[in-house]
Amino acid sequence: MAGEILVNYEAVYTKTAELQQCIEAELSELDSTYRQVQSTLQNMDGGANGLLIETMLANQQKACVTADTLCKLLMFIDNSARLVERDELMMKRIFALSRSSELAGGGVS
């Protein structure tokens, strides 16, 4: 059918879940790396270390906010796909019922 859009909903759900897991894993690794660097810097002397630690904390918070935003977008995509799939299935049932009533003689000639 011309203009038809075919969506593999299961692929959408699988990919969004996979991407959320990747974001969580990256965030966990980032957090671990930040902690290691911060620990090393705290054991060193100097005012620059304090500024560097502050900057790293700010960047870590920005990374968390960004990851959270990406996860929310992925949830939006997943939920939107579920709504479209549900509506699509409902329309399919309505058309199937309509066709079956026409075949049973309920249609207008």
| 46 φ, ψ (degrees, to nearest 5) | 125, 145
pLDDT for position 108: 53
Q: At 63, is the pLDDT very low, low, confident or very high (cuts 50, 70, 90)? A: very high
CA proximity to 20, closest of 62, 60, 63, 78? 78
pLDDT over threshold 60, residue 75: yes
* Threshold 0.75, pTM exceeds: no
Q: Give the 3-state secondary structure of residue 107.
A: coil
Could you read off the pLDDT of 2-55 as tens digits, one per residue? 677 788 999 999 999 999 999 999 999 999 998 898 888 877 777 778 888 888
